[in-house]
């Protein structure tokens, strides 16, 4: 289990780095949006490229930030019953959801989105809007984000199994190995 925990914690560290990129993406999108509005309304100049880069940054925010949200256990869940569960029951519910729902869906979405990314990369597909951007960088975020979410799901499974074995301490916001 030690090597698996090291793998899980490595995935966690990379998810944290992706989370920093996602946070930068939010800031950059806000600055670009404000600057674009100022230039459009102040000087009557507009560019589809600036609008599209905002969409790309939003995609980066979602696709790169979602694994960190899962790691931090801040993802959306129906808490009607979950919050009332005692002892290890929430861990078992998490394991069920991760194994039965998250991993299969993220694996399938990564698998299905990769050929679309490759097609856009090979053909160098451009936006149909005047002044639009190439599309493959935004499309790369799909297989990358889904695959990383899959890996973060594996990390969460490993940590929860280790927790059940008494080899890992878990808290809803902070996780660390047992010393």
Q: 178 phi and psi, to 5 degrees?
A: -70, 135
128-146: pLDDT as tens digits: 887 778 889 999 999 999 9
d(CA 102, CA 154): 10
Domain-wise residue ranges, the chain: 2-177
User: If you ran DSSP here, which 8-state letter would residue 134 be given?
Assistant: B
Model confidence at 79, in pLDDT bands (50, 70, 90)?
low
Report pTM: 0.84
132 contacts 49 by C-beta, under 8 angstroms? yes
91-114: pLDDT as tens digits: 888 899 899 999 999 999 999 999
């Amino acid at each position: 289990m030690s090597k698996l925990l090291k793998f899980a914690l490595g995935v966690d560290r990379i998810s944290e780095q992706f989370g920093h990129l996602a946070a930068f993406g939010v800031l950059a999108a806000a600055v670009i949006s404000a600057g674009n509005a100022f230039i459009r309304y102040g000087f009557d100049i507009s560019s589809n490229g600036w609008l599209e880069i905002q969409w790309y940054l939003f995609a980066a925010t979602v696709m790169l930030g979602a694994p960190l949200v899962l790691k931090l256990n801040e993802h959306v869940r129906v808490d009607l019953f979950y919050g009332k569960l005692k002892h290890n029951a929430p861990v078992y519910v998490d394991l069920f959801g991760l194994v039965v729902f998250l991993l299969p869906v993220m694996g399938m979405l990564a698998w299905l989105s990769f050929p679309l990314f490759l097609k856009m990369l090979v053909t160098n597909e451009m936006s149909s809007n005047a002044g639009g951007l190439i599309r493959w960088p935004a499309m790369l975020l799909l297989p990358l984000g889904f695959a990383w979410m899959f890996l973060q799901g594996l990390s969460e499974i490993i940590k929860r199994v280790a927790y059940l074995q008494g080899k890992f301490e878990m808290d809803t916001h902070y996780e660390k190995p047992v010393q």
